[in-house]
A and B are shown apart, each in its own frame.
Chain A
Amino acid sequence: MASANALPQTGPVRFWDRLNISTKRVIWAWAFLAVPIIFYAGIRFYPTFQAFWLSLTNWDLLRPAQFIGFANYQKMFADPVFWKVFQNTFLYLIIGTPVSLVVSFVIAYYLDRVKLMHGFIRALYFLPFLTTAAAMGWVWRWFYQPVPIGVINGFLSSFGIPQQPFLRSVDQALFSILIPAIWAGLGFQIIIFMAGLRAIPNTFYEAAKIDGLGDWAILRKITIPLLKPTTVFLVVFSSIGFLRIFDQVYNMTSNDPGGPLNSTKPLVLMIYQTAFSSYQMGYAAAQTVVLFTILLIVSLLQLYVLREKK
């Protein structure tokens, strides 16, 4: 900021005065952008290229990085743990995204029409979005404990339903983590859907009513089609969120992150462990390149879908 202010004044005053207005403005613009350009170049672009480069090396923090070609990628694609993790990541995605979208749409659709205590009810749905996964991970782990501690098992046993292992089971753990992950993001999606619903001009609804359409027909023929940009945005936003899931998994399985038996481990957790538990930086960088590629495909699909039907 100091540099932005000082730049025009440090030069000889006459020189500055002789410049025409538009030249002055160009100089101002670059002065404003100087620090940000250094930031984006040094902290976004350079590290991106470095990650690609590191993925082709055997760097392990101790010895200097050596170029080893695609060996990391070969190792990864031959590793059954990677494929297990890949499968888990897509399970989070293909269950998490549709479930959270349908639930948040239904809630937004009805909440939008509610006048009585609207703000209060909306707040109830939104509050979980403001929590941190580290704190909520503990609450949910406590919920999933066996009796006499666990709230959910206590609730089930009062109906005579047998104890469930939840986080301790290879079959249930992933779903037990998915529920808090959906829970935490629901409020955001509801608010966005409501904003989208409000943005639909009333004239459409009035015209539909005159044509004698019922609520169900209006929903199908007007609301859902006109809500498409919002829906596409949320599909992508939520997909990227589930593909990058980490906090919830790490904090609910912290005795054995990603366990039991890798049954809950997503890609980002594998990256974290490869890099910062076993210090195979080169190998971890290769995994980040895979994540980058998947996210890029999802983003490009969004652009494609929006362009196609508009």
Chain B
Amino acid sequence: MTMASTKELAANSRDIRPGRIITWTLLLIGGLIMITPLLFMFSTSLKTSGQVYDLRLIPAAPTLDNYIKVLGDGRFMQWFFNSTLIAVTVTISNVFFDSLVGYTLAKFEFRGRYFIFLAILSTLMIPTEMLVIPWYLMSSQLGWLNSYWGIMFPGMMTAFGTFLMKQFFEGVPNDFLEAARVDGLNEFTIWWKIAMPMVVPAISALAIFTFLGNWTAFFWPLIVTTSKELYTLPVGISSFSAEASIQWELIMTGAAIGTIPTLLVFLLLQRYIVRGVMLAGLKG
């Protein structure tokens, strides 16, 4: 596909109309192939158990029974609630602390600033996998296993978010901050009321990333939770395998419910998300 269209374009560098149509069509087909797994997932979630073996994409008689059944099972709602609560709390914490630290490192002069900067930067080198065993030990000693706090505490601040915010705060002109200081505002108010509103694009990128990352997080929640009431949605969906016979239409419904929130977030905030990924990729 690629070679053909490359040649196509090279051959028609001035008049590339036919080449463009071919490229566009191939890109569209590729994109549709990309979402095929999602389409099959949604399609199967709308089928009855008798229709599962019928592999047509559009169900003969679509029904929402599976959703009623899956959501009617209280555990699923509980997992959904857990995931939402955790993702929202961790996001708020990251927006607050990563911004505060990023701002301090960008706009304050004090001895030790560079050391703190390097120390936080160096934590990017430490993989989570290396920390989970000490975290587990810590959690069991402090009674954090099987608690919301136990799931959340490792992610309350991130070095990545701190650097993203630091980069953006560096672009905020000092004149604004000085003017506020002359007006007698304290430093906390200056950060919160003057500096923060000037970096809203960065904040929204950070918030979206943190939310998505925590909503889909799997490794640590899998380790720290053993009681089903505290599972997050991904851990809960994964635990289906323990159950005896596989009912694919119900599994696909569960998978769909686990996927819908992030897709909705994307559809509502598409512009911010794409811009956020670009910002994070270029600055991060």
Complexed CA–CA distance, A126 and B68 (Å): 29
* B17, chain A: closest CB distance, angstroms: 13
Complexed CA–CA distance, A187 and B212 (Å): 14
A101 contacts chain B at the CB level, 8 A cutoff: no
A178 contacts chain B at the CB level, 8 A cutoff: no
B254 contacts chain A at the CB level, 8 A cutoff: yes
The reply to whether B241 and A254 form a contact with Cβ atoms under 8 Å apart is yes
The reply to whether B34 and A149 form a contact with Cβ atoms under 8 Å apart is no
* A35, chain B: closest CB distance, angstroms: 7
B134 contacts chain A at the CB level, 8 A cutoff: yes
Q: Which of A131, A271, A281 contacts B216 (CB 8 A)?
A: A131
User: Which residues from B are CB-within-8-Å of A154?
Assistant: 55
Question: With contacts A131-B259, A291-B130 known, is A121 near B28, CB below 8 A?
Answer: yes
Q: Which of B34, B127, B136, B215 contacts A128 (CB 8 A)?
A: B34
A37 contacts chain B at the CB level, 8 A cutoff: yes
Question: In residues 1-59 of chain B, which contact A (Cβ within 8 Å)?
Answer: 2, 5-6, 9-10, 13, 20, 23-24, 26-28, 30-32, 34-35, 37-38, 40-41, 44, 52-53, 55
* B108, chain A: closest CB distance, angstroms: 4
* B7, chain A: closest CB distance, angstroms: 8
A171 contacts chain B at the CB level, 8 A cutoff: no
Specify the chain A residue showing the minimal Cβ separation from B120: A40
Q: Interface on B for A, CB 8 Å cutoff?
A: 2, 5-6, 9-10, 13, 20, 23-24, 26-28, 30-32, 34-35, 37-38, 40-41, 44, 52-53, 55, 96-97, 100-101, 103-104, 108-111, 113, 116, 119-120, 123, 125-127, 129-138, 153-154, 156-157, 186-188, 191, 212, 215-216, 218-219, 222-223, 233-235, 237-238, 240-241, 248, 251-252, 254-256, 258-259, 262-263, 265-266, 270, 274, 277-278, 281-282
Q: Which of A5, A131, A149 contacts B248 (CB 8 A)?
A: A149
* A144, chain B: closest CB distance, angstroms: 11
The reply to whether B110 and A135 form a contact with Cβ atoms under 8 Å apart is no
* A287, chain B: closest CB distance, angstroms: 9
* A291, chain B: closest CB distance, angstroms: 6
The reply to whether A246 and B219 form a contact with Cβ atoms under 8 Å apart is yes
The reply to whether A48 and B126 form a contact with Cβ atoms under 8 Å apart is yes
Complexed CA–CA distance, A142 and B250 (Å): 12
Residues 279-310 of A, flagged 1 when their CB comes within 8 A of B and 0 if not, give 00100110011011001100100000000000
The reply to whether A292 and B130 form a contact with Cβ atoms under 8 Å apart is yes
User: Which residues from A are CB-within-8-Å of B126?
Assistant: 44, 48, 292
A30 contacts chain B at the CB level, 8 A cutoff: yes
The reply to whether B104 and A134 form a contact with Cβ atoms under 8 Å apart is no
* Chain A residues bordering chain B, tally (CB within 8 A): 99
Complexed CA–CA distance, A138 and B257 (Å): 13
Question: In residues 123-137 of chain A, which contact B (Cβ within 8 Å)?
Answer: 123-128, 130-137
Residues 173-215 of A, flagged 1 when their CB comes within 8 A of B and 0 if not, give 0000000100100111001101110010000000000000011
Complexed CA–CA distance, A154 and B53 (Å): 10
The reply to whether B277 and A188 form a contact with Cβ atoms under 8 Å apart is yes
Complexed CA–CA distance, A25 and B103 (Å): 13
User: Which residues from A are CB-within-8-Å of B137?
Assistant: 50, 281
A selection of 10 A-B contacts at a CB cut-off of 8 Å is A4-B100, A26-B110, A30-B110, A110-B27, A126-B274, A130-B216, A131-B262, A191-B281, A250-B238, A299-B125
